[in-house]
Amino acid sequence: MGFRKKNKSPPVLSHEFVIQNHADMVSCLAMIILLGLMFEVTAKFAIMFITVQYNVTEVQDEKQEAVNLYQYGPKDVATVFFYLLIGVILHALIQEYILDKINRRLHLSKTKHSKFNESGQLAAFYLFSFIWGCSILTAEDFATNPTFLWEGYPHTRMVFQVKFFYICQIAYWLHALPELYFQKIRKEDIPRQLYYICLYVVHISGAYVLNLHRLGLVLLVPHYLVELLFHASRLFYFSDENKQKGFTLWALLFVIARLLTLTLSVLTFGFGLPRTENQGFSFAEGNFNVLTIRMTCLAAICLTQAWMMWKFINFQLKKWREHSQNQASKKKAVSPKSKPPKREATRGGSANGVVKSDEKMSPRARKAKAS
Q: What is the pLDDT of residues 340-369, one digit of tens each?
A: 555 544 444 544 444 444 444 555 555 455
Beta strand pairing status for 66-70 and 354-355? Answer: unpaired
185-199, 262-276, 286-300, 323-337: which range is least confident on average?
Answer: 323-337
More confident call, 324 vs 183: 183
Q: Find how far residue 311's CA is from the centre of its chain.
A: 15
**What pLDDT, on a 0 to 100 scale, did the predictor assign at position 364?**
55
Query: Rounded CA gap, 350 and 361, in Å?
Result: 12
Average model confidence (pLDDT) across the chain? 86
Query: Rounded CA gap, 75 and 153, in Å?
Result: 23
The closest of 28, 24, 17 to 2, measured between CA atoms, is 24
Taking only the tens place, the pLDDT of each residue in 64-85 is 678 889 999 999 999 999 999 9
**What pLDDT, on a 0 to 100 scale, did the predictor assign at position 142?**
67
37-41, 87-91, 187-191, 325-329: which range is least confident on average?
Answer: 325-329
**What pLDDT, on a 0 to 100 scale, did the predictor assign at position 335?**
63
Taking only the tens place, the pLDDT of each residue in 215-233 is 999 999 999 999 999 999 9
Highest mean pLDDT among 54-63, 70-79, 328-337: 70-79
Asked whether the beta carbons of 261 and 223 are under 8 A apart, the reply is: yes
**What pLDDT, on a 0 to 100 scale, did the predictor assign at position 361?**
54
**What pLDDT, on a 0 to 100 scale, did the predictor assign at position 241?**
77
Q: Residue 301 above 60 pLDDT?
A: yes
**What pLDDT, on a 0 to 100 scale, did the predictor assign at position 121?**
96
More confident call, 94 vs 325: 94
**What pLDDT, on a 0 to 100 scale, did the predictor assign at position 145?**
80
Query: Rounded CA gap, 245 and 237, in Å?
Result: 9
Q: Residue 1 above 80 pLDDT?
A: no
37-41, 97-101, 242-246: which range is least confident on average?
Answer: 242-246
Express as a percent the part of the chain with pLDDT over 90: 61
First and final CA of the chain: distance in angstroms? Answer: 83
The closest of 209, 207, 225, 234 to 304, measured between CA atoms, is 207
The angle subtended at Cα 165 by Cα 73 and Cα 277, nearest 5°, is 60
264-278, 317-331, 333-347: which range is least confident on average?
Answer: 333-347
Q: Which residues pair with 69 in a beta bridge?
A: 56
pLDDT confidence band for 263 (50 / 70 / 90): very high
334 by Cβ neighbours in 10 Å (0-12 / 13-18 / 19+) ranks as exposed
Strands (E), 10-54: none
> Average pLDDT of 333-341?
57
**What pLDDT, on a 0 to 100 scale, did the predictor assign at position 321?**
85
More confident call, 188 vs 362: 188
Q: At residue 336, what are phi and psi to the nearest 5 degrees?
A: -65, 135
Q: Residue 149 above 50 pLDDT?
A: yes
